[in-house]
Amino acid sequence: MTTLELPIIAVINHLLSRQTLVRDKLRAHAGKVACIETGTVQLTMAVGAGGLLQSDVSNQPTVTIRIDPADVLKVVATMDKAFSYVTISGDADFARTISEVANELHWDPEEDLAPFFGDIAAVRIAQAGRSAISQAKSRSRKLVENIAEYLLEENPMLLYRHVGEQFASDVAVIRDDVERLAKRISLLEKQSVGGQA
């Protein structure tokens, strides 16, 4: 068991406890064990009778989902396409259910904040959080665009792909022209030597 396993299971169970339809999908696979491997990190979770997860390292996994460590961010960023980045062995139906649960499981921050701050404050805090995340994404995207523009336009250390492809095409045309010219020169030299004889 990894040190991450219990907190991850607790978070997932917290979300599942508020989404009965999603939990019911897992309940159909009660007793099955899923193992998620990402390089050195391995999470092993069993589905309990109530559809919630529990730590289980004693049983053999029913399904093993392997994620290349280089693809972890892609999997997290695009959960709807996550299973295109993984290797699955074992129960395919259980793996499909895990994929569906991962896509449908969502966090409602207002619901978790309301008991501490009240409904109105929880909504405003959640909106402020979403706004801050949106602004951070926008600023980071603009920063990347500005760096790319600098490297491509003002201090050209990189090339646009189409410029590189056009350059390669132009080089190929020049190479072909030089080869044709060399053949013509060779032919003219042979004709010149033959004419002198």
Residue 103: partners with Cβ closer than 8 Å, 6 or more residues away: 79, 80
Average pLDDT value over all residues in the chain: 82
> For the sheet containing 53-55, what is the strand order?
53-55, 41-47, 33-38, 63-67, 86-90
Cα within 13 Å of Cα(184), Cβ side: 6
> Global pTM?
0.57
Q: Tell me: the pLDDT tens digits for 2-21?
A: 566 788 888 888 888 888 88
Report the C-alpha gap between 84 and 6 in whole angstroms: 27
* Burial degree of 124 (CB within 10 A; 0-12, 13-18, 19+): middle
Least confident window among 36-45, 46-55, 157-166: 157-166
**With bands split at pLDDT 50, 70 and 90, how would you rate the model's confidence at 79?**
low
- Average the pLDDT over 25-48 and give the result: 85
